[in-house]
Structure 1
Amino acid sequence: MAELPHAGVVTAIQPQKRRKNRLSVHIDGKFAFGVDADIAQQFELRPDKVLGPAEIKKILGAEEVKRALERAYRFLARRARSKKEMQRRLAEYQYPPFIIEQVIEKCESLGYLDDRAFAFQYASDRLLSRPMGKRMLLRELHEKGIPEDIAEAAVEQAFAKTSEEQLVRELSNKRLPRLKNLPEPRARQKLVSFLRSRGFDWEIIQSVMLELF
Structure 2
Amino acid sequence: MIVEWKKEHSKVKIYVEGELWRSVSPRLFGKNPDFDVQNLKELEELEYRQTMLFAVRSLSAKAQHSTELRKKLRDLGASSSAIEQVLSELQRLGYLDDDEWLDFYVRAQISRNLGKYAIQQKLRMKGIPLDQCEELLDRYLTSESQEEQIKSLLKTKYRHKDLSDPKQKQQVIAALARRGFSWELVQSVLLQD
Report the TM-score when normalising by structure 1: 0.68
> What does the per-residue CA deviation read over 1:148-189, in whole Å, with 9 as the maximum and x for residues that have no partner?
4543343233337x6111111111222323435x98112101
Q: How does 1:20-35 map to 2 (within 5 A)?
A: 33-34=35-36
Distance in 1 (CA, whole Å) between partners of 2:82 and 2:94 is: 19
Please say if 1:206 is aligned against 2:161: no
**Once the 2 structures are TM-superposed, how far is the Cα of residue 142 of structure 1 from its aligned partner?**
2.6
1:183 to 1:166, Cα distance in 2 relative to 1, 3 A: closer
Counterparts of 1:75 and 1:33, CA distance in 2: 23
Describe the superposition over 1:23-57 as per-residue Cα deviations: whole angstroms up to 9, x where unpaired.
xxxxxxxxx8336xxxxxxxxxxxxxxx5xxxx11
Q: Does 1:92 align with 2:75?
A: yes
Q: Which residue in the other structure is 1:188 paired with?
A: 169
In structure 2, C-alpha distance between the alignment counterparts of 1:93 and 1:178, rounded to whole Å: 49
Between the aligned residues of both structures, percent identity stands at: 29
The answer to whether the 8 A contact 1:132-1:198 is kept is yes
8 Å contact 1:81–1:113 — kept in the other structure? yes
Structure-1 separation of matches of 2:137 and 2:72: 25
Structure-2 separation of matches of 1:106 and 1:71: 14
The answer to whether the Cα contact below 8 Å between 1:72 and 1:90 also exists between their aligned partners in 2 is: yes
**Structure 1 CA distance for aligned equivalents of residues 129 and 166 of structure 2:** 41
- Structure label with greater radius of gyration: 1
**Partner Cα separation in structure 2 for residue 90 and residue 192 of structure 1:** 41
Is structure 2 residue 138 aligned with structure 1 residue 156? yes
Runs of 5+ in structure 2 lacking a partner?
A: 1-12, 19-33
Aligned with 2:47 (options 54, 58, 64): 64
Note the C-alpha offset of 1:101: 2.0
Q: Which residue of 1 aligns with 2:10?
A: none
TM-score if structure 2 supplies the norm length?
A: 0.74
2:14 counterpart residue number: 2
Q: Specify every segment of 5 or more residues in structure 1 that has no aligned partner in the other structure, as ranges.
A: 7-31, 36-50
Structure 1 residues 71 and 178, CA gap change in structure 2 (3 angstroms): farther
Partner of 1:119: 102
Letter of the 1:185 counterpart:
P
